[in-house]
Amino acid sequence: MDIKQLLEIGAQAFLSSLDKNEASGLSLGGVAEALAQLMPGEGKNLDLGALIGQMDTGGLASIAQSWLSNGGNHSVDAGQVLSLFGQHKIKGFADQLGIGETSAISGLQAALPNMVDQASSDGTLDSIGGMAGMLAGKLFGK
């Protein structure tokens, strides 16, 4: 799976979590672009491994592991999403999309597990963004 496909999966999950009024003004491509700018990594090097690393150091390792594994994905709450990215980045993301911060966080709660789940197999991240798979493997002993 390439980065563009992964961002589209995240964008679809994001859009489907919003109410119809909020989602009506957003495009799949626009949300995918905003996700790319929000996520760790530079340009075409989306680094989900860095996101998993942030989750691990932020006390969210069990949630990250559920997203990486073949089982069900544990949910992440709004406060955890805010802590993961920080108020400034969430505000910028919401402003870029023209939606409220609460809606942005809600959409990210849907998008993040889907993106990591789709980019991982058997507990490790596939080769997206360079060292992502290796980092996740080291964090979780794979």
Measured distance CA(45)–CA(22) in Å, rounded: 29
User: In the beta sheet, which residues pair with residue 45?
Assistant: 42
**pLDDT at 46 > cutoff 90:** no
**pLDDT at 63 > cutoff 50:** yes
What are the sequence ranges of the domains in the chain?
Answer: 3-136
pTM for the full predicted model: 0.85
Q: How far apart are the first and last CA of the chain?
A: 21
pLDDT confidence of residue 3 = 86
Superfamily of domain 3-136: YidB-like (1.10.10.690)
Q: Which whole number is the average pLDDT over 128-134?
A: 42
Measured distance CA(40)–CA(47) in Å, rounded: 5
Q: What is the mean pLDDT of the chain?
A: 85
pLDDT digits (tens, 9 = 90+) for 76-130: 999 999 999 999 999 999 999 999 999 999 999 999 999 999 888 766 776 554 4
